Amino acid sequence: MNEPIVIVGAGLGGIRLAENLRNGGYEGELVLIGEEPHAPYDRPPLSKAVLTGDHTTTDLKRPEYYTDSRIDLRTGTRVTAVDPASHTVTVDHDGVVDQVSYGTLVLATGLVARRFPGADDVRGVHVIRTIDDALALRADAATATKAAVVGAGFIGCEVAASLRALDIPVTVVEPAQTPLAVAVGATIGEMITRLHREADVDLRTGTGVDELAVADGAVTGIVLSDGTTIDADLVVVGIGGYPDLGYLDGSGIPMAPRESGGGIACNGVGLAVDDVYALGDAANWTDVHGDHNRVEHWNHVVDQAAIVAAQLLGHPIAHQAVPYFWSDQYGLKIQMLGAPHSDDDVHVVDDDGRRFLAYYSRDGILTGVVGAGRVGKLMKTRPHLLTPTPIAALLDA
Ligand SMILES: Cc1cc2nc3c(=O)[nH]c(=O)nc-3n(C[C@H](O)[C@H](O)[C@H](O)COP(=O)(O)OP(=O)(O)OC[C@H]3O[C@@H](n4cnc5c(N)ncnc54)[C@H](O)[C@@H]3O)c2cc1C
């Protein structure tokens, strides 16, 4: 690999890559550049423990780690341009613009939250992507009397669960008929929906939000596309995020087609163009079938950081991991192994009305396993996803 290694994005992927490089024996210069004023921190607790508890940080490393590991961490520094021809990036730190040279560049710039149009300056309206977002939301939740969550994706569902844990009445609005159906299919989406109804969440599906109701600069409610107004003095917009890649304009670094999730187009080990890699939520790698695929899950980022580090250290590893993600809602850990399609066959093998375990199959072969409150049982199925396993064999076992 060419030195120095410059990593853009001081989040999960950036710090995991730096750590893997140092642990793997890389002795050269290592620069980690992040736009946020914070050292790398973990995002999953933001919609969970940070909202319901009193954490003010979820740092991934002790402060001394960076000096001890000779990682030149530059926080509050935004990369505004990349020039692969001259192997430089342009950085902006508090208005001071500079160039940083790289031998190898790794882009791990994550996502930004999609916002509700026209809501930026309205008090009481929140998104949740950064620790500052989460702390601002928690501060408003302390005095909120009624909340509305726009979007019932994983983060929207988790925020709803956290707000209910704080005893705030919550309405969740979701344009699809079934929450999470895109990710887990309609059958499992309905089983997760039960948890919300059991917790007295007012769930409105099949309708969008047209506009916010605002008085004196503060939100007072949301107006649904069916004309109904829902009162709320706290609104959380959970309508997903997108890779904000304007800093790559004119760089020649390829983008993946929108239909495959967009993001930085890479090969199967994260290489985008010579000496430039990308990983994490912003990256779109080709999978084993040659299809482009952009994934927004914690373990996926960690796996990719290990693969890129191994690549740079000169002892490549294959991408063998079984896809995995989790979500915490209403005291249950919801987990999925594998990468089933939302229209795969679903086989519910265990359901007590709250906790459940189900298999997915396509053409008779196991494609995934999903569970709620079934951690041990679910993890035991992992080996079956490493090789093609007939679903009949599992159902008969
Ligand atoms: C609220 C929340 C809850 C989540 N819960 C779960 C969960 O339960 N389970 C799960 O599997 N996953 C979860 N995730 C997803 C998981 O956290 C992400 O997949 C992971 O953080 C992505 O890592 P990353 O390094 O790609 O990006 P990030 O962690 O987002 O880091 C990217 C960093 O790059 C910085 N950056 C961007 N552009 C620039 C630039 N031009 N110059 C310099 N810096 C830049 C950003 O400011 C950011 O700090 C959750 C995410 C969120 C937001």
Q: Using most ligand atoms within 8 A of CB, pick from 60, 249, 281 the residue to mutate for ligand 1.
A: 281
Calculated CA dihedral for residues 351, 353, 354, 360, nearest 10 degrees: 40
Looking from the CA of residue 47, the nearest atom of ligand 1 is: 1
Q: Report pLDDT digits (tens) over 44-63.
A: 999 999 999 988 899 999 99
**Residue located nearest, by CA, to atom 20 of ligand 1:** 298
| Residues within a 6 A CB radius of ligand 1 | 8-14, 33-36, 43-44, 46-47, 78-79, 108-111, 128-129, 155, 247, 280-282, 296-299, 301, 325-327
Ranges of residues in the chain with a pLDDT under 70 are: 320
Q: What is the CA radius of gyration of the chain?
A: 22
**Domains, the chain, ranges and CATH?**
5-111+243-313 (3.50.50.60), 114-240 (3.50.50.60), 331-396 (3.30.390.30)
pLDDT given for residue 291 in this prediction: 80
What is the 43 CA–ligand 1 centroid distance (Å)?
A: 6
pLDDT given for residue 299 in this prediction: 94
Return the axis-axis angle of helices 12-23 and 298-313, rounded to nearest 10°: 40
**Residue located nearest, by CA, to atom 27 of ligand 1:** 110
* Two structure tokens written together for 370: 């999903």
pLDDT given for residue 133 in this prediction: 97
Calculated CA dihedral for residues 89, 57, 233, 110, nearest 10 degrees: 30
